Structure 1
Amino acid sequence: MRTRLTAGLGLALFSLAAPSAPAASRFVQDPYPSTYAPIASAPVLIRNATVLTGTGARLEQTDVLLRDGRIAAVGPALAAPADARQVDARGKWVTPGIIDVHSHLGVYPSPGVGAHGDGNEMTAPVTANVWAEHSVWPQDPG
């Protein structure tokens, strides 16, 4: 009798400990995946700019090639794709990859309403759960 009880208890504990589904399928990695897709457009080649990189390097007379919404190349005298729109940036600064996406346009259509807390990053030291992308109200009169 004791052997059956021990075996039954062991089987019950094993069934509780064994995962019912693979760990990867039980957890959603990105519960709100981005719906952003760049607008289809021709490549853009910015010519002769002073480029300040994210490492602090200053590159004079430098070109930046943008393709499909991303930086494709940075360097002097880049070859222009046949369909590229070229912009002369002589005397101008370009900071590839350094952008300021801070905006509240469309996030607070009715100020003072508690439901709009998803647009305020100042509620705690770390607010990775605050995604303004998910709180945008497209009809905001701006």
Structure 2
Amino acid sequence: MIHHISIPANNPLHVAQVLAEVFDGKVGIFPPNPNSYIVVAGDEYGTLIEIYPADSVVVPGEGDHQAWFQQNAYPVTYSAVHAAISVPTNLEQIEHIAAREGWRVLPCSRDGLFDVIEFWVEDQLMLELLTPAITHKYLNAMHPKNLEQLMLDMTQVEARI
């Protein structure tokens, strides 16, 4: 289970405030990295998102020292990094929030296996949001009893390529 993730943002405080609205959560300061914030969902899993300035990167420490933050002079606009996250809000609320922010939002089907709502934070980072109405289909598709067949199907597709 993933309990927290970190994402980049051009305006970390604003992104934190918007995500807190989507998650029905709260915003806090994230002291280890200047100008960074956390959104606490307040669910039973301890779900939170850390929002860092877009030029922040996490680098490994040396020896017994833990990871630390550094600024990247050449931050990327897009990334393959994304996350599927269950939220308590519904599609209409998510669409309203995205429209207000001018961010892309798109309900999608992932090959008929499950549905997600692509929510493009600052039109640069995709979060796949799962509302209460669609979460069950995702959980069913990813249930251990179904994953073996899914992996087998994916292997068969790869073999045909």
TM-score class normalised by the smaller sequence:
under 0.3
What TM-score, normalized to structure 2?
A: 0.22
Greater helix share, structure number: 2
Greater Rg over alpha carbons, structure: 1
Could you state the TM-score of these two structures normalised by the residue count of structure 1? 0.24
Higher strand share: 2
